[in-house]
Amino acid sequence: AQSVAQPEDQVNVAEGNPLTVKCTYSVSGNPYLFWYVQYPNRGLQFLLKYITGDNLVKGSYGFEAEFNKSQTSFHLKKPSALVSDSALYFCAVRDMTGANNLFFGTGTRLTVIP
Amino acid sequence: DVKVTQSSRYLVKRTGEKVFLECVQDMDHENMFWYRQDPGLGLRLIYFSYDVKMKEKGDIPEGYSVSREKKERFSLILESASTNQTSMYLCASSRGHQGNEKLFFGSGTQLSVL
């Protein structure tokens, strides 16, 4: 069975500081990994994904994520946080060999403090 | 840009009512999905569809059914609404069957069952 863990419900960071939102996963085969962001009263928006190749993936709005197979992690990062980055972030995983279901984590609320 | 439109932003229904949630996408995507989002639980897949008239159960299908008579439209049906179905419902679509495609989400329907 596949699963995703986002160990932090809430992350607070000062504006201009680097931010990290953590994600670990469990799948039986090789994973496809995704990050989505949800702004207030909005649906989810795609940020970035890892399929294969380079472990560092760059996405929208200056975000990037690093795939670490040995630690089964896919942490989301940004070098300098903006107040407008405040939102709910979801990590998701799909097993390459399994059904076409995307399994989501429980979400991490990021607050960037001015 | 792909647009996924959910017919209602807010909906209030009574226990026992039959409820229809409608979703339309405008990019000829093969795949469509219904999720529910609850605080602390993240997104959970209710049903999905790979093609017209096809449907597959997700992780929490009990109490729900779906209909996909046309490629662009995917309806979620609550046969007899109950209070535990009060939730945010999110529709999504994606193209192809590779498994690495991103999902495009609608803005969501906040359903309250009284």
| DSSP state, residue B29 | -
Number of domains in chain A: 1
Contacts of A71 (CB under 8 A, 6+ apart): A24
- Residue B40 sits in a domain whose CATH number is 2.60.40.10
pLDDT tens, position by position, A2-41: 889 999 999 999 999 999 999 999 988 888 999 999 998 7
Is residue B103, in this structure, part of any structural domain at all? no
Residue range of the domain that includes B38: 4-97+109-113
How high is the pLDDT of residue A97? 65
Taking an 8 Å cut-off on Cβ atoms, the answer to whether A100 and B107 are in contact is no
CA atoms within 13 A on the CB side of B103: 33
Residue with tokens 């560092």: A56
Go through A62-97 and write b for each residue having 16 or more CB atoms within 10 A of its CB, e for each that does not.
ebbbbbeeeebbbbbebeebeeebbbbbbbbbbbee
Name residue A105's amino acid: G
Contact in structure between B47 and B28 (CB atoms under 8 Å): no
- Rounded to an integer, what distance in angstroms lies between the CA atom of residue A9 and that of residue A25? 16
> Looking at CA atoms only, how far is residue A16 from chain B in angstroms?
28
> Looking at CA atoms only, how far is residue B43 from chain A in angstroms?
6
- Residue A91 sits in a domain whose CATH number is 2.60.40.10
pLDDT tens, position by position, B50-79: 999 889 999 899 999 999 999 999 999 999
Report the chain B residue with the minimal C-alpha distance to residue A32.
B100
Number of domains in chain B: 1
Report the chain A residue with the minimal C-alpha distance to residue B40.
A106
Residue B2: Cβ within 10 Å count = 15
How high is the pLDDT of residue B1? 67
